[in-house]
Chains A and B, each alone.
Chain A
């Protein structure tokens, strides 16, 4: 045995950026995440060439999943050309030559910050959600060791109490995005700061979802056909954002999650948050051949 058996040919960068041992650790943790849906699995979380908090957790999962035939879509706030989405997509193709797309239907792998696309995801697709804070118990317990024990004991009483207090104080549950949900009847997870509109899309879905927090070094998964139930009281139904009747002023789309754009006159205009769906709707209106896939919401209602 010589020193050279310890080393390898020099390369400025590995294919898919992460070195082989980083990928193996990710694989091991991703398998465990699938085996215990919604349970936060700790991982080492290597530094990647982006600042922590900018999607480094999602990026490590995506880099591990990348194949030579992957077609990747990256969105931030629903938009493909949002600056950080563009930066991540450019990085992915720089380190792997993965094909890029803006079209949800064409993608095999979708990395997203804060949104789930409006077109239904299929069984061959993987959604990777970037997670800033993986701990749904943080508002009631900032100490991670204690929160971990609470998950172990399925001790979610204080979380329920917070929701109940909101009901009493404000007449409704005030949780905006990142609505906590019980996964597979056992672990409460934060679905990442997606709007309430998007949480039902994870419930008994056909696709596989990974959620990964690089800074906090935790990843978890929602396999296909897994129960994801937002925490609600039996007499107070879960309420998504009141967007069902809004109309996108650009594309004419209706019944999708909207961005509100304040107007000079004092009112608001709305545009579809899923930007490429908006583009497809405009193209279709212009008479171009465009395929819009089946949607999660029809007529403003979620269709299971």
Chain B
């Protein structure tokens, strides 16, 4: 049997997932995607997923993976490009249930990483407390998330700033310092 070789897609998807996995496993640390939010879409989505995408161009690329484009209340993944869009999606995205917490959605949204209010994160993945500045988040984002979800229900946030990402899984507690 000949040794199989990775395709360029394989390499991009593995790199994107590696960045996402560590971003979620160590909330607050900054990781790098090969190019940007679209990498996450390609690494995660196919015809078995239901996706809300705010940006029409990204929506086209996502549709080409076979994923169903749906309204955010039915989506398991949402890709938002504006603060207002993210807030609107967060208000209705599925949060899963105590029985099936995995049905809580993943929301990918923009943020300014390294500028803005200073936040203190605690929880799994964090030794003590992790401090980080995050800007450009819609007002009341994290309050809305905690109001809607009772752990282990939840929505997992992936904040994207160009190629850089920060993960805020549902397990993490965030306070403004």
Contact = CB atoms under 8 A, between A and B. Distances in A.
A128 B124 CA distance: 18
Contacts of A21: 46-48
Given A42-B102, A223-B25, A225-B124, A35 B1 contact: no
A16 to B, nearest CB: 7
A13 B4 contact: yes
B99 A97 contact: no
A148 B13 CA distance: 32
Contacts, number: 135
A14 interface: yes
Contacts of B120: none
B58 interface: no
A15 B10 CA distance: 8
A35 B13 contact: no
B125 interface: yes
Contact of B13 (A23, A29, A32): A23
A161 interface: no
Interface stretch (B85-93, B110-118, B131-139, B150-158): B150-158
A29 B102 contact: yes
Contact of B10 (A16, A25, A32, A153): A16
A152 interface: yes
A165 to B, nearest CB: 28
Contact of B156 (A31, A41, A64, A187): A31
A152 B98 contact: yes
A37 B9 CA distance: 30
Nearest to B128: A225
Given A16-B10, A36-B154, A224 B21 contact: no
A22 B18 CA distance: 16
Nearest to B45: A24
A149 interface: yes
Contacts of A97: 3
A11 interface: yes
Contacts of A31: 20-21, 24, 44, 106, 156
Contacts of A28: 44, 49, 76, 106
B43 A24 contact: yes
A35 B7 contact: no
B156 A148 contact: no
B125 A68 contact: no
A221 to B, nearest CB: 8
A6 to B, nearest CB: 10
Given A95-B4, A223-B25, A35 B99 contact: no
A256 B25 CA distance: 29
Interface of A: 11-17, 20-21, 23-25, 27-37, 39, 41-42, 64-68, 94-97, 148-149, 151-153, 184, 186-187, 204, 208, 221, 223-227
Interface of B: 1-7, 9-11, 13-15, 17-18, 20-22, 24-26, 43-49, 76, 97-102, 104, 106, 123-127, 151-152, 154, 156, 169-171
Given A12-B1, A25-B48, A36-B171, 15 more contacts: A15-B4, A16-B10, A20-B46, A21-B47, A21-B48, A28-B49, A28-B106, A35-B24, A35-B169, A35-B170, A64-B17, A66-B14, A67-B14, A184-B171, A221-B25
Q: Which 7 residue pairs across A and B have the least CB separation, nearest first?
A: A35-B169, A152-B98, A226-B124, A32-B102, A15-B6, A223-B125, A15-B4
